[in-house]
Amino acid sequence: GAVVSQHPSWVICKSGTSVKIECRSLDFQATTMFWYRQFPKQSLMLMATSNEGSKATYEQGVEKDKFLINHASLTLSTLTVTSAHPEDSSFYICSASPSGEQYFGPGTRLTVT
Amino acid sequence: AQKVTQAQTEISVVEKEDVTLDCVYETRDTTYYLFWYKQPPSGELVFLIRRNSFDEQNEISGRYSWNFQKSTSSFNFTITASQVVDSAVYFCALDTSGTYKYIFGTGTRLKVLA
């Protein structure tokens, strides 16, 4: 199957700082990627759709100025959590699809202290 | 409204028992896709199956089987002869009109005891 990677796998940052998470499709090109957030023992919630070469589309209730998404190439999308706060601590997962089903990255666990 | 309901929050079974995970979905679209994913403790989602709304055939893959019934809007997942390695959280997901924007259920945590 298709492979999607994320970096870093986990990150700890101090409140007020920004952190960038990368999502790469390793063996296919993806004009669209998706970012999800998963709080402990909860379901995945779609945050935004990352579109190569254009602005991301955010789901209702997601602050676009806080979660900056850049999809600069057909294999890379980045999510930057700006001015992170403890409530942003979560498991962030990206996904992409060569066709049909989505393939998910391994996730990035963000802890804001 | 589009929604996926997994009413079973947690299930515990003893190894070799069969177990069925329920999934009920809501959508007004006539074209949609249903999925099951496994999330082991490592966190990475593992794709199990994709089914489109026009294909109601049941599917069997090894110890896994799926029962899709449009009449009851259900897409249930059965593991036969469960094993400890099956312990994970299982998510059912809905994609309407092939938008790739998945709506996930709340997941069912399966614990298989040795």
Residues A45-95 pLDDT 10s: 999 999 888 899 999 999 999 999 999 899 999 999 999 999 999 999 999
Cross-chain residue pair A101–B50, CB shorter than 8 Å: yes
Residue A99 predicted with pLDDT over 80: no
Cross-chain residue pair B104–A101, CB shorter than 8 Å? no
Residue A31 CA to residue A50 CA, distance in Å, equals 8
Question: In B, what residues contact A, Cβ < 8 A?
Answer: 33, 35, 37, 42-45, 47, 50, 91, 100-107, 109
User: Which among B102, B106, B109 is the nearest to A102, CB-wise?
Assistant: B102
The residues, ordered by sequence, that sit 6+ positions from B90 with a Cβ below 8 Å of its Cβ are B6, B21, B36, B37, B38, B39, B48, B77, B107, B108, B110
In the predicted structure, residue A26 carries a pLDDT above the cut 70: yes
Residue A100 has pLDDT above 90, yes or no: no
**For B46-94, how does the pLDDT look when each residue is reduced to its tens digit (9 = 90+)?**
989 999 999 888 899 999 999 999 999 999 999 999 999 999 999 999 9
Q: In the predicted model, what is the mean pLDDT of residues B9-19?
A: 97
